[in-house]
Structure 1
Amino acid sequence: MPRRVRPRSVTVTALAAAGLLSAANGALTGVGSAAPAPAAPPEKTATTSVSVTCPFADPLGSRKLTVVTSATLPTQPKSGTSATIGKYSVQLSLPRDVALALLPTGATSGSLQGAVQLDLTVHQGDRSDKLPVPLTVAPTPLPETGDVTLTATGDVPEIAINTIGAVVFDVTAPTLALTAVPAPDAAATPDATATPAAPPAPPIACTLDPDQQATLGTVLVQPTATPGSEQKAALGAAAALEDDPPPANEYTVPLGLITIFTTSTIKKLGATVVSDPALLINGFFSVDLDTTESRVSGSAVFKPATATFLAFGFVPVTATVEFLPHDYRNSKMIEVGGGLYTGDDNEIWLTTQLFVMGRVSNVKINGVPFDVGPDCVTEHDIELHVSGHYDPFATGHIKDPNFKLPGFRDCGSGGQDLSPLLTGMSSGDGNEAKIDTYNLNGCTEPDHTKCPKDTLPPEQDSPAAAAKAAAKPR
C-alpha cells in the first residue's frame, strides 16, 4: 500500500542552492553567460493578448490598443544552460485617424514603419528581471479603409537560466516609435513639388491596462541530468510517496489547479470507462538539488463513472465503476506521484506506479437491477505502470497500455456469491488506462478560446467528449 505524501516545504538551504537568495549567483537571467545546451530542445508556441493605453499627442489623445505577442518557448530548458525564445513578434491594430496623423500633412495614403521597444519580464516567485526586446516594424501600407495592422519582429537575446522550477515570461507595454515611409519622389529628388516628409513622431510610451493577465508562457527548468537519472526516475512513485523526511536541499513549488481525465478500456467487456474530471490537490513539483532527481506529487478523488457494455457479447449491462485507494473504507483520496526524466525525444517524461482498488455497484442487466452488494471490489489493488509525456506546468498524457484487472470479491447479496460471475466477465490482461492532465495555469488568455489546444481539457465535440457521452446509459 503506498504511503501518504507529505507536502514538502521549501528550505532556506534549497533556495540558496537554487540561486534564489544568493547575490553571488547573479540575476535570475543573464545574456551569454551560460554554457550552451548540448542540443536544442523542442519548442512550443505561446501567445498572449493584452490591452494597453497609449498617450498620443493632441488632438488624438489617449487610445486603447490591443497588443498580441507570440513567440516560441523552449519546452525543457536545463539549469545552467542558455534558452532561446524564437519567432518573437508583436501585432497591434492602429486606428486609422492615428495612422493618418503620422503621415505628411494632407496625405490620405502611404506607409508606416518604425520600431517597438518593450521588456520581457522573466520571473520565478518574487524574483524577476527585465530583458529589453527591440522590434522593427517593416514598411506597412495603410489599407484603403479601416485601421492598419502593424507587425513588429525581432530577436530576443539568449537567456541564461540560473534557477530550477517554473520560470514565467510576462509581456510589458510597448513604446512606439512610428513614422511615415518617405515617398519615392521625395527620397530621390527632394524639390519644391515633392510631398514633404513627415517629421519623426516622438516615442509613445504605452501602459498596461489594469486587472489583466500578461503572461506569455511558463517553462519548466529541469536540473542538469546526472548519469543514471533516468533509471532513478523509473522509481519515481516510491520516491514521491515516501514518508521519510524530505532532503535538506530540496526545491519545491506548488503546481496550481490541475484537471485530470482518466479513460480505461476493459478488453474482455469491450467497455470504455470515462471518468468525470478530477482535480489534483496539494500538487507539488520537487527537485532534490543534491541528486538532481525531480518528481511530482499530489492527491486526487475520482468520481464514480457509468460504464455500458455487452456481457458475454450480447447482454446489455450498465454499472457504476469507482477507482479508490487501498484504504477505501476510510478515505477516497488517492495519493499520486512520479519521477520525471528527459526522454530520447528530448521531452519531459513521467513514469510511475499507481495502485487503486476497483468497486462496482448499481449494476443493471437489460435494464433490470442486479444486486452485487455494497462492497463488490477487486481482490487486490489494480497495479498501473504509467508513463508518457508530462509537463507539470502545462499538460500530461500518460498511459499503461496493458494492465491486469484482478478478480472480484464480496460481490452479491442474500447469500448469493456473484464474484465468480464478475471475475469471469471482466478480469484479465490486455486492458488500457489513459490519464490526461491539464494545468489550468498553462493557459494565460482571458478568452479561453484563444488558448493553445493542448492547454485546455477536451471540448464538448472532441473525440474524448464523444467517448464519454457514449459511455453514459441511454
Structure 2
Amino acid sequence: MTVDARTAARRPIHWAVGGALVVATALVPSAESAAAEQKSEVALRYACPLPSGTEEVDVVVSAVLPTTARTGEEIRPEKISVEVGLPATSLTRFRDLDAATLAATARLTVRNAVGDTAADASWQELTAEPVPLPEPGEGEGGLTLAATGEVPTVAFGTPGRATLTPAELALSLSSRTADGEPTTPPGLDVSCEPVPGQESELAAVDIRGDEDPASPAPTPGGSDPAPEPTPGRPAEGLPPSARDRIDDLTEKRLDALEDDPGSCPIEIPPEWVMTTAETYAAGYANAAKLNGAAALGPAFMKVVLNKRYINDSCASTVDVSSEVNFDYQGKRQLPPTKATFLSYGFMPTTATMTLEQVGPPAAIHTHTVTNTPTYPEETTVTAQLVMRLSDVEVNGVPLDVGPDCRTERPFEQVLRGYGQSYPPAGYLVAYGGTLTGYAHIPPFTDCGADEDLDPIFTAAISSTGKKADNYAKMTQAPLCVATNPEGPDCPPRKPKPEK
C-alpha cells in the first residue's frame, strides 16, 4: 500500500458511512482497560450430523475477558479458541478420500445477555490449521482441531451480571492429500447443536453504571475521554435532487482522475468487517392494474452487515455490501397480507398475498461520496421474490385457486433510499428510513383447482409488457446490532408504514 502522508492528512479514511458507523467502530480493538482479566473456559458436548451419523462431539471454548466493565464500554473477547474433538468414526470418510490432513473454519454463535435482554453475536472465520489424520488404530484414533481468531466486541447498556454463552456451532471441514491437493470432494459443512441439559455459560462480566463507586478507576496519569455525542436521528427526508447530487459528485471526481491519475496516490485494498443485526420493515405495495395498495409487514429481517467494505480514496467513494433475509415463522418470506381491490374497476376481490424470498439473500449496496462534508449516499436493496395468492373471494364468493397459485417466475424488487451522514438525514442503513421502488410482476401459473384461472390473474395483476409499474414504499426501523444488545434500538422495533 502506497501512502502520501500529506494527502492522507488532508483526506483521512472514514469508516462511519453506509451503516458502518455502528458496526465498524464496534469491531476495531477497544481501548486498554484497567479492569482485571479472567481466562474463561467451558467444555461442552455438541450433536453433529456427520457422515457416520449424528455423533456427540467434545468442544472446549475458551476466551480472555475483563471481570468488570462500565455500561456502554466495548468488551473484546481475546485469545479465542474453539477446540473440536472429532471421534475416530467420523474420520473414515476422509480416509476414504485419501486425505492426509484435515483443517476447519468455525463459526460459533454466542449469546450475549444481561437481565432479560439477549442478542446473538457471530464469532466467525475462526480457523484451525491442518492436522495430520491419524492412522487407523493409532491411539484412540480421534483428532482435535483448534480454531482461533479475532471476534467482534460487545457492549452492555444496563448494569448487572452479563453472560456470554456458546450456542450453535458451524464447521467447514477441508481435507487435503499428502501432496497438498484438495480431495474430491474437498470438504464437508456441518451444523452442530449443543446437547441439552448442560451448563454452557462461558463467562460472566460485572457491568457497572458510571455512577457506581465500584466502577473501574481511570488509568493512572490519564483521564476518561469525553463521551462521544449521541448521534441524532436522521431528518425525515432529503430533497428529490439527492440522487442527482450523488451522481454528479461521483462523475466529477472520476473525470478529475482521468485528467490527473496521479492526484491520489493512496491504494487501499477491500476491507472485510462483518457483523449481524436485526430490524423490521413495513410499508405498502401498489397493484397498478387494481388501483389499490396492499400492506406489507411488519417484516422481520436478519441482516449481515459489511460483507464487503471498499474505501476507494482515489475515487473518493466508499462502497459497502451487506445482505438480508426475511424471516416469518422460520420461512424466508414476508408475513401474509389480506387485501381487497376492485378487479377490472368494478368487481370487489379479496385475496391473501404472500411474498416469498427465493435465491440468494437480498443484496444491500451503499455507495457514499466522501469528497463533500455531508457524505451523501445512495442505498439499493435488491431481492428476488415470488408472489403467491390464496383465500381468494370475488364479490364475496370463494374462488378455489388451488394450493400453488403464484407468479410463473421470481421477480426482482429493487428499493432505493438516499441520505447523508453529516448531519444524519434521509435513509441510512443503521438508522433506517424510507425506501421506494418499482417491480415488474410476471404472469401467474398453476392458479385454479378445477379451471385455468391463470389468464384472469395475469390480466388483473401482472405488469404490462416489460414495464416495472408496481410501486412499493417500505419504512425500515433502526438496526439492532448484535455487538450492542443493550443499545437504544434493541430489541428491534416495528416501524409505522407510510403510504
Report the TM range for the smaller structure's normalisation. 0.3 to 0.5
TM-score (norm 2): 0.41
Between structure 1 and structure 2, the one with the greater Rg is: 1
